[in-house]
C-alpha cells in the first residue's frame, strides 16, 4: 500500500458529490481539486507546449490481460510503428494486472493500493492515452472499466488528455465497446481523436493476427499509424494552446 495523499476512504465519494452540487461549498472543493490537478507534472509540462524536440508521452492501456491477446498485438504494433516512423512519440504500456477491483475498503487514510498508485502516477505524467480493448458483452472489458474507475478518483488523472482508441473483437470489430469508451470519456474529460475509427474484425479473413497475437495485417497497420498521427496532431494542438487540462464545469442537469 502506498500513500497518494489525497482522500480518505469515503472522502473521494463525498468530494465527488460536493463537486457536483451547485452549493458554494461544492465549488470550493472543486476549485481546490482543480488546482491540485492543474499543478500535476503533466500540466506543468504541457503549459510550455510541445517544443520542436519534445517527446509526446503516450500511456497505452490494454483491456486484455493475456500475453497473446489481439488487443495487446495492436498496442505492440503501435509501439513499433511509433519507434520506426513517427518522430517525437513514445508509447509505454501500463500494467493493469495487479489493479484490484475498486472497493472503498481498500482506501484507508489516504492510501491507495500500490498498483493503483503506480498506474495513476504514470497516467498523470503522460501527455495522452492510447486504448486497445476487446468487446465483452457489448462493452469494454471489466479489466478496462475497473482501471478507468480508479483513474477517475479525485483528482481525475485523465482529465483533459487527448486519447485514441482501437478495438479488436468479433463481427463489428468492437464498435459497441469503442462507443461505450468514448461515452466514458465524457465523464473522464478525455479528448478523443474522432477519426480514423480503428475497428478490427479479429476473426474475419484475411487473418489479422498470428497465433501469438501479433498484428500481421498491413492495412490494419496503416490504420494504426493514421490513428497515431491523428493523436499526435490533436495533442500538439491541445497541449501547445494549453486548451487541455481539467476544466471547471461538470455536467449540469437543471
Ligand atoms: C466474455 C466474452 C464476451 C465477449 N463478448 C463479445 C461481444 O459482445 N462482441 C464481440 O464482438 N466479441 C465479443 N467477444 C469476443 C472478443 O471480443 C474477442 O475474442 C477479442 O478478439 C478478444 O480480444 P483479445 O484477444 O485482445 O483478448 C467476447 C469474448 C468473451 C471472452
For the chain, what is the domain count? 1
Residue 107: which CATH number?
3.40.50.360
Q: Is residue 250 part of a domain?
A: no
Atom of ligand 1 nearest to the CA of 174: 11
Cβ contacts of 27 within 8 Å, gap of 6 or more: none
Q: Is residue 253 part of a domain?
A: no
Q: Is residue 183 part of a domain?
A: yes
pLDDT at 16: 46
210 alpha carbon – ligand 1 mean position (Å): 17
Q: Is residue 252 part of a domain?
A: no
Nearest CA to ligand 1 atom 19: 169
Give phi and psi for 242, each to the nearest 5.
Answer: 55, 25
pLDDT at 253: 66
For residue 162, the cross-strand partners are 191
Whether 10 is in the pocket of ligand 1, judged by its Cβ within 6 Å, is no
Distance (Å, rounded) from C-alpha 115 to C-alpha 122? 11
pTM over 0.75: yes
162-169/128-133 β-pairing: parallel
Give phi and psi for 213, each to the nearest 5.
Answer: 85, 5
Cβ pair 111, 3 in contact under 8 A: yes
User: Which mutation among 67, 134, 144 tests ligand 1's pocket best, with the greatest number of atoms within 8 A of CB?
Assistant: 134
Q: Is residue 71 part of a domain?
A: yes
Closest CA to 71 of 173, 162, 195, 158: 173
pLDDT at 247: 53
State how far Cα 147 lies from the chain centre. 9
Q: Is residue 251 part of a domain?
A: no
Whether 168 is in the pocket of ligand 1, judged by its Cβ within 6 Å, is yes
Query: Which residue bears the cell 474522432?
Result: 194
Cis ω before 206 (30° cut-off from 0): yes
Q: Is residue 83 part of a domain?
A: yes
Exposed, middle or buried, 248 (CB in 10 Å: 0-12/13-18/19+)?
exposed
Whether 68 is in the pocket of ligand 1, judged by its Cβ within 6 Å, is no
Atom of ligand 1 nearest to the CA of 171: 11
pLDDT at 3: 53
27 alpha carbon – ligand 1 mean position (Å): 42
Whether 70 is in the pocket of ligand 1, judged by its Cβ within 6 Å, is yes
Cβ pair 125, 70 in contact under 8 A: no
Atom of ligand 1 nearest to the CA of 62: 26
> Which residue range is the domain that position 135 belongs to?
2-240
Give the chain's largest Cα–Cα span: 59
130 alpha carbon – ligand 1 mean position (Å): 19
pLDDT at 250: 53
Q: How confident is the chain (254 residues) per 10-residue block, as mean pLDDT?
A: 49 46 39 44 45 82 98 98 98 98 92 96 97 98 98 95 98 98 98 98 97 98 98 93 54 61
H or E segment and range at residue 3 = strand 2-3
13-32 per-residue burial string, b: 16 or more CB within 10 A, e: under 16: eebbebbeeeeeebeebbee
pLDDT at 114: 96
pLDDT at 204: 96
Q: Is residue 195 part of a domain?
A: yes
Amino acid at each position: 500500500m502506498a500513500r497518494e495523499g489525497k482522500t480518505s476512504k469515503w472522502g473521494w465519494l463525498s468530494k465527488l458529490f460536493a463537486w457536483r452540487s451547485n452549493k458554494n461549498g461544492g465549488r470550493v472543493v472543486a476549485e481546490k481539486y482543480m488546482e491540485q490537478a492543474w499543478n500535476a507534472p503533466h500540466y506543468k509540462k504541457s503549459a510550455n507546449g510541445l517544443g520542436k524536440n519534445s517527446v509526446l508521452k503516450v500511456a497505452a492501456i490494454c483491456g486484455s490481460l493475456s500475453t497473446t491477446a489481439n488487443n495487446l498485438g495492436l498496442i505492440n504494433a503501435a509501439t513499433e510503428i511509433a519507434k520506426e516512423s513517427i518522430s517525437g512519440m513514445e508509447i509505454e504500456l501500463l500494467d493493469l494486472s495487479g489493479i484490484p477491483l475498486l472497493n472503498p475498503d481498500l482506501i484507508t487514510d489516504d492510501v491507495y493500493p500500490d498498483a493503483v498508485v503506480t498506474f495513476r502516477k504514470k497516467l498523470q505524467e503522460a501527455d495522452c492515452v492510447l486504448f486497445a480493448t476487446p468487446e465483452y458483452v457489448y462493452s469494454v472489458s471489466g479489466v478496462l472499466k475497473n482501471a478507468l474507475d480508479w483513474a477517475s478518483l479525485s483528482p481525475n488523472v485523465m482529465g483533459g488528455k487527448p486519447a485514441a482508441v482501437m478495438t479488436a473483437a468479433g463481427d463489428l470489430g468492437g464498435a459497441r465497446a469503442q462507443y461505450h469508451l468514448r461515452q466514458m470519456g465524457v465523464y473522464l474529460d478525455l479528448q478523443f481523436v474522432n477519426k480514423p475509427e480503428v475497428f478490427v474484425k479479429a476473426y474475419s479473413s484475411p487473418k489479422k493476427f498470428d497465433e501469438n497475437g501479433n498484428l500481421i495485417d498491413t492495412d490494419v497497420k496503416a490504420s494504426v499509424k493514421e490513428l497515431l498521427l491523428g493523436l499526435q496532431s490533436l495533442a500538439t494542438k491541445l497541449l501547445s494552446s494549453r486548451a487541455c487540462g481539467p476544466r471547471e464545469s461538470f455536467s449540469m442537469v437543471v
